Amino acid sequence: MYLFVGLGNPGTRYAGNRHNIGFMAVDEIVRRHGFSGWRAKYRGALSEGHLAGEKVLVLKPQTYMNESGQAVGEALRFLNLDPSRLIVFYDELDLEPGKLRVKLGGGAAGHNGIRSISAHIGPHYARVRLGIGHPGDKALVHNYVLSDFAKADRIWLEPLLAAVADHSPLLAQGQEGTFQNRVHLTLNPPPPREAAKTDKKD
């Protein structure tokens, strides 16, 4: 069994924020793969389903971003799950919009949700970092992440969320690297090879 956690802030006020791309990603996984409806559990909203024959629980902490670890820690303890079976989806300022990287362990890199989770369960879990870009000035970061995506962002946001959901069964198979590669190829397909010229003369 795996626990997929999307990070964000609860409520309609924050629903379209850049900081909520983690919520958006797991929402798409739940929708595309026919998971159960959401119910209140572990200080969050919980949905259940299967990916690649593996049971997967999806959790959206309702504790607000900075206290995400309260919900994640409670869920792992109740489910008796090792942190190695946890995958967290969240916004990454240091990646260009639409880029994705999977990271195993490590520091929080300034992300308060990740910092909270690591404080509760340690750093040894997988993170799916979803690039939202950087506003260019550290002083602008707070307002930037708590602002809604622009309409123009749909060009990259919707394909990214779709690719994450489509390839999420690989995460439930422990194939994080393959998942990252498949998402990249989906979003950046190689150019078609030029057809060989059959009428070339010597």
Round to whole Å and give the CA distance between 139 and 161: 28
Round to whole Å and give the CA distance between 106 and 99: 19
Round to whole Å and give the CA distance between 59 and 19: 16
Token pair of 118, please? 């690591």
Round to whole Å and give the CA distance between 188 and 173: 23
Helix (H) or strand (E) holding 154: helix 154-167
> Residue for token digits 């995460």?
171
- Selecting among 19, 33, 111, 167, the annotated active-site residue is 19
Token pair of 86, please? 């946890």
Give catalytic status of residue 134 as yes or no. Answer: no
In the three-class reduction of DSSP (H, G, I as helix; E, B as strand; rest coil), residue 195 is classed as coil
Q: Could you give the residue numbers annotated as active site? A: 19
